[in-house]
């Protein structure tokens, strides 16, 4: 079968390299996986050659392998243990893939009950693939932060004016995901989802397409490696507090407070990544 160009599921979640495949030696399982993702070889690529998109490819594979469930909201997906046995990957890889799907709003994971397909309509990233692909994946972090500080605060007046109850619910959902993220990789997924949800709440498709290029840059290896090197639980906890204050201000439609909170948050992220000073703050 001829190879498909590009990779399935290559959107703004594809940065999640930690969700990379670690297939077992069962050739039948590998052949099944390769058929599902359109590969032309008989084995899944090794860790030295695999694409960063494999985290999202595994997420797509989970849904495509259970098409009947994935097409009906409320349907239950197999357990993590069952998916590990079926797909021949590690449990860590399965958990990261499920985190991607949950952050995209395509599934919900309920403690003690299982994993269920959500009815959310079109994917929140639908229609942005072309814009995202147009942006370079390895723009320097300094440029990424400059663009974020230029775009994100300017979006807030539109969010305060036009955001709906559903928009605020989506922000709260992303907050909840970040609060329980077990790893830096999972927290970054929810961080990206939250900032996307805020921009999407502006109800301006042109701004959303422009921001998709920034999101594509955040998927690059330069951003990802620098973010990992500067990660700590303490910093994640501070970012989570920033996010909670920001969403609280937006839900109250308090523009000044929201803008000040977002400005401080972006300054903090920039300082942690690049060593810049945070105005009005001590080290």
> Mean per-residue pLDDT for 102-107?
83
Residue 99's CB: how many other CB atoms inside 10 A?
28
Q: Is the pLDDT of residue 33 over 50?
A: no
pLDDT in the model for residue 220: 73
Give, as one character, the DSSP assignment of residue 172. Answer: H
Residue 249's CB: how many other CB atoms inside 10 A?
20
Question: How far apart are alpha carbons 25 and 43 in whole angstroms?
Answer: 9
> Mean per-residue pLDDT for 139-160?
93
- Among 139, 55, 130, residue whose Cα is nearest residue 97: 55
pTM attached to this predicted model: 0.65
> Mean per-residue pLDDT for 168-185?
92
Q: Is the pLDDT of residue 279 over 80?
A: no
pLDDT in the model for residue 255: 97
The residues spanned by each domain of the chain are 17-117, 135-274
Query: What does the pLDDT look like over 226-243, one tens digit per residue?
Result: 787 888 999 999 999 999
Q: Which CATH architecture has domain 135-274?
A: Up-down Bundle (1.20)
> Mean per-residue pLDDT for 66-86?
81
Q: In percent, how much of the chain has pLDDT > 90?
A: 37
Question: How far apart are alpha carbons 60 and 97 in whole angstroms?
Answer: 8
pLDDT in the model for residue 104: 80
Q: Is the pLDDT of residue 268 over 60?
A: yes
pLDDT in the model for residue 218: 83
Most confident of 40-49, 117-126, 191-200: 191-200
Instruction: Match 């502006």 to its residue by tokens.
Output: 202
> Mean per-residue pLDDT for 256-271?
97
Question: How far apart are alpha carbons 120 and 173 in whole angstroms?
Answer: 13
pLDDT in the model for residue 215: 87
Q: Is the pLDDT of residue 43 over 50?
A: no
What class does CATH assign to 17-117?
Answer: mainly alpha
């Amino acid at each position: 079968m001829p190879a498909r160009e590009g990779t399935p599921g290559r959107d703004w979640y594809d940065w999640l390299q930690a969700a990379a495949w670690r297939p077992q030696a069962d050739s039948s399982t590998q052949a099944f996986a390769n058929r599902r993702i359109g590969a032309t070889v008989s084995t899944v690529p090794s860790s030295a050659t695999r694409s960063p998109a494999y985290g999202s490819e595994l997420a797509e594979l989970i849904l495509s392998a259970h098409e009947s469930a994935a097409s009906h909201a409320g349907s239950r997906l197999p357990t993590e243990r069952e998916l590990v046995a079926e797909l021949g990957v590690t449990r860590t890889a399965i958990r990261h893939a499920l985190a991607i799907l949950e952050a995209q709003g395509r599934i919900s994971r309920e403690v003690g009950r299982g994993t269920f397909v959500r009815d959310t309509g079109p994917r929140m990233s639908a229609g942005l693939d072309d814009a995202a692909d147009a942006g370079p994946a390895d723009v320097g972090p300094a440029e990424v932060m400059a663009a974020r500080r230029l775009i994100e605060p300017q979006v807030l007046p539109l969010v305060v004016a036009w955001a709906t109850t559903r928009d605020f619910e989506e922000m709260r959902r992303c907050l909840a995901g970040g609060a329980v993220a077990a790893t830096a990789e999972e927290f970054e997924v929810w961080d990206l989802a939250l900032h996307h949800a805020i921009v999407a709440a502006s109800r301006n498709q042109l701004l959303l397409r422009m921001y998709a290029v920034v999101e594509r840059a955040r998927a690059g290896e330069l951003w990802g490696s620098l973010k990992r090197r500067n990660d700590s639980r303490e910093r994640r906890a501070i970012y989570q507090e920033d996010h909670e204050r920001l969403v609280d201000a937006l839900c109250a439609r308090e523009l000044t407070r929201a803008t000040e909170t977002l400005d401080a948050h972006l300054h903090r992220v920039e300082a942690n990544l690049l060593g810049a000073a945070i105005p009005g703050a001590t080290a």
